[in-house]
Amino acid sequence: MVERSVLIQEIDSLPTCYYDEVIDFIGYIKEKKIKKASSLEKAADMAAKEYQSGKDLTAFCVLDCEDFYETR
């Protein structure tokens, strides 16, 4: 993992004409991270709903003493 100070030094070493591209790229990375988190959350919600309603999936939950039906 690159340290923050190294990233800052690299950005500072760029000609100022590239700053807009760096800012655009950072925005792109942030947007991608948000979309991924949202996608994972939706997938988890769908899996939880399927788990709660699927008899084959819940047949053994009484054996493990875990409460998988906890709501957020």
Per-residue model confidence as pLDDT tens digits over 12-62: 999 999 999 999 999 999 999 999 989 988 888 888 887 777 767 666 666
What is the pLDDT at residue 71? Answer: 55
Is 12 part of any domain?
A: yes
pTM of the predicted protein model: 0.53
Stronger pLDDT, 65 or 3, i.e. the higher one: 3
Is 51 part of any domain?
A: yes
Residues spanned by the domain of 52: 4-64
How many structural domains is the chain composed of? 1
* 47 neighbors 30 (Cβ within 8 angstroms): no
Cα(8)–Cα(30) distance, rounded to whole angstroms? 17
CA-based torsion, 20, 25, 28, 34: positive or negative: negative
